[in-house]
Chains A and B, each alone.
Chain A
Amino acid sequence: MLRETLIGSLLLALSMAPLAAALLCLLAPRPRFCEAVNLAAAAIALASALPLPFLVGGAAMLFWGGYVIIDRLAAWVVLCSAIVYFLASLYAVGYMRLLHEDPRLFRFYALFAGFGLTTLIAPLMNSIAIYWIAIELTTLVSTFLVAFERAAESMEAAWKYIMVVSAGISLALLGTVLIYWDGSFVLGPSYQMTWAVMGAAAARMNPVLTILAFLLVLVGYGTKVGLAPMHSWLPDAYSESPTPVSAMLSGALENTAMLGIVRFLGIARAADTGRTPQQVLVALGALSLLVGALFIVRQRGIKRLMAYSSVEHMGVVALGFGFGGSLGVAGALYHMLNHSLNKSLMFFGAGTMMRAYGSKEIPEITGVGRSFPIAGGLWLAGAVGITGAPPFGLFLSEFTVMRAGLQTPFAWAVYVMAILLVVIFVGFMNHFRAMYYDRGAAGPAPAPGISAWCVAPMWLSLVPLLILGLWWPSGIWSYLTSIAPSLSPALP
């Protein structure tokens, strides 16, 4: 009982803090005040999200008249979002001041807090249709964030973003309608479509219709996640939006949308659908890795490089869930957390260097190590981590996903993954070698001095990443493996 009250109040704080911050920013449009309010909200959200995984037990809990549900899977995804929201808010303080947009800054922070709010609450939605609405809300808010810099490129990116994602999300809606129809043969014409209800009814539902619905939802939310070949909007949006927004899009939004696919996978697995859903997920994951690898090797834009790396890592997560089993699911979930930390670090570094050198092009960024020993060092360590090299967290999670794959009939995907990871490692490191050690044409010297606001979040993401890479606590291991048997929330 006490635990339930505690979780309830944490969820309240988690959602009300960003909401209040967004409103305050609109009411008092003073730039420094808005910074502080958003940062405070992010800190409260993180403080409320951190204890959630410890408190939530094996059974899911309902709150607020059954609209909100929390189980171990949702708590984990919320934690990832909250971490990125906090780190990005910290970074935004330093970064947004460089843009000299003070008069419009309150709008940025209001939208940013709103974006944080939507990514935090979407995983907690109990109804499948309201989850869809929450995902749509994330699009609505983030479009304006992508377009914030108002350059023609940002407009183009925002337009592509909203068109491609809306088209994708309409397919997810079609899938949602079909799964409701499917359920109506079991549950009667009118019922509450929640994750738990559908998971329980799945075994008696028609497998053909379930597969059709799953595929539509996979393509729909897969667009939002950025799985290839639905990733076309992603590099544009990631590279043209302000850097804190890129970090949020990559570290928080991708996981939030992936949750929808995972929940639907849970429903499809409970139905008598055979291997098809997992096969498709593995195929999309392998394709994402391939697309990521091809575009990483010959990339010129520094933030586009990070964007394609996100495509690659979401491919790894999709592979993990596609392989299934406790190894696969635990590896994929661990990968989500590590990727959130590591990709935030990479975007922070990229944004800082982009501002210092005044260019988004890799060839124009030279001698990073000499000019910025601390920030450059952190960024380089992050680059080693993001390619999946030890001793950072992504190494452990990728290794676990590969081990999971070897035990399934999808062993071919593991070999493909191993080869592509080597290609990505070489390609990524080559870009960083060029930026750190090449003596390029003596261009203008980089603007000296990096705000501590920009360096602090890099430390804050690298240190946990290193710890998670050296030591996978057994508590986290058993927590993650307990999610594997049923991806749908289990109500007591």
Chain B
Amino acid sequence: MLSQPLDPLAASLFSLLAIVSLLLSFVMLASRWLKNYLYAFAAQSWAVALLSAAVGYYGHHPLLYLIAVLTLLFRGLVLPYLIWRIIRRLEIDREIHEILQPASGLVIGALLVMFALAVAYRVAGELHLAQGVAVLALTVMLAMALIGFLMLAVRHEAISQVLGLLVVENGIFLGSQIVVPGMPLLIELVVLFDLLVIVACFGVLVGYLATHAGTTSALKLKRLVG
């Protein structure tokens, strides 16, 4: 936890960035076009990176500057670029197999945020936390994880699923920086390692799926059932 009490300016900056990230995941929920989806993800990663830098500055955790740079580099630039290339090569620009209309997706997303808020309040009540940044961070962390899972469930393009998973990771990363900024180096290792997995496996697999299974829509992956 960040040392209390927080500078009011810092508190509002953290809240602003957390809320911007949450809103960007709603942008993703609402977009049909994969490119917009991707831009929203890139912007969200930038917000998370800015948050790392801000927490590093106000909480005196110099290590977080490094994480901010790495986040910006990997999640903000390299990963979106790689996915953008895959989108261009496979010539898929939009979600064709929609299970859920974007409008209904937004409503469910809002319900998920309320649920996350309820859980966060319950936990905060148990821990006797003041209603502040920590509660907001916990809410955003849980809400983004839930929204990421919603995207995994209702989107069927392989790329959208990868992005859904990345939203879950962004959420966990964002929340953990505010809640446990002092967690030893491991959290960075963990997240960067995750990136490695995504780049290595997903890049390879999306390519494979298109050439071998003939489709990048998970909805058509129905050979194996029962």
**A residues at B contact (CB < 8 Å):** 127, 129-130, 132-133, 136, 139-140, 143-144, 147, 150-153, 155-160, 162-163, 166-167, 170-171, 173-174, 177, 180-181, 184-185, 189-193, 206, 208-209, 212, 235-236, 239-240, 295, 298-301, 304
- Asked whether B1 lies within 8 Å of A127 as measured between CB atoms, the reply is no
Cβ-closest chain B residue relative to A166: B165
Q: Given known contacts A159-B158, A166-B197, is B183 in contact with A180 (CB within 8 Å)?
A: yes
Q: How far is the CB of A18 from chain B (nearest CB, A)?
A: 20
Q: Given known contacts A185-B127, A190-B182, is B190 in contact with A170 (CB within 8 Å)?
A: no
Flag whether B226 is at the interface (Cβ < 8 A). Answer: yes
21 A-B residue pairs with Cβ-Cβ distance under 8 Å, sorted by A, are A143-B205, A152-B214, A156-B213, A156-B221, A159-B209, A159-B218, A162-B197, A166-B165, A167-B149, A170-B145, A177-B179, A177-B183, A181-B1, A181-B180, A184-B180, A185-B127, A190-B182, A208-B126, A209-B126, A212-B123, A304-B226
- B195-208: CB near A (< 8 Å → 1, else 0) gives 01110111001001
Flag whether B5 is at the interface (Cβ < 8 A). Answer: no
- Asked whether A170 lies within 8 Å of B209 as measured between CB atoms, the reply is no
Q: Given known contacts A136-B193, A162-B202, is B224 in contact with A155 (CB within 8 Å)?
A: no
Flag whether B89 is at the interface (Cβ < 8 A). Answer: no
Flag whether B176 is at the interface (Cβ < 8 A). Answer: yes
- Asked whether A127 lies within 8 Å of B186 as measured between CB atoms, the reply is yes
Q: What A residues does B224 contact at CB under 8 A? A: 153, 156-157, 160, 235-236, 239-240
Alpha-carbon distance between A209 and B138 when the two chains are bound, in angstroms: 12
Alpha-carbon distance between A208 and B193 when the two chains are bound, in angstroms: 30
**Total residues of chain B contacting the partner, CB 8 A:** 48
Q: What B residues does A155 contact at CB under 8 A? A: 205, 208-209, 212-213
Q: How far is the CB of B116 from chain A (nearest CB, A)?
A: 12
Q: Which of B149, B208, B214 contacts A147 (CB 8 A)?
A: B208
- Asked whether A163 lies within 8 Å of B152 as measured between CB atoms, the reply is yes
- Asked whether A132 lies within 8 Å of B161 as measured between CB atoms, the reply is no
Alpha-carbon distance between A174 and B193 when the two chains are bound, in angstroms: 15
Alpha-carbon distance between A479 and B19 when the two chains are bound, in angstroms: 53
Interface centre among B1, B189, B221, by most chain A C-beta atoms within 10 angstroms, is B221
Cβ-closest chain B residue relative to A154: B212
Q: Given known contacts A152-B212, A173-B190, is B197 in contact with A160 (CB within 8 Å)?
A: no
- Asked whether A209 lies within 8 Å of B127 as measured between CB atoms, the reply is yes
- Asked whether A136 lies within 8 Å of B197 as measured between CB atoms, the reply is yes
Q: How far is the CB of A243 from chain B (nearest CB, A)?
A: 17
Flag whether B168 is at the interface (Cβ < 8 A). Answer: yes
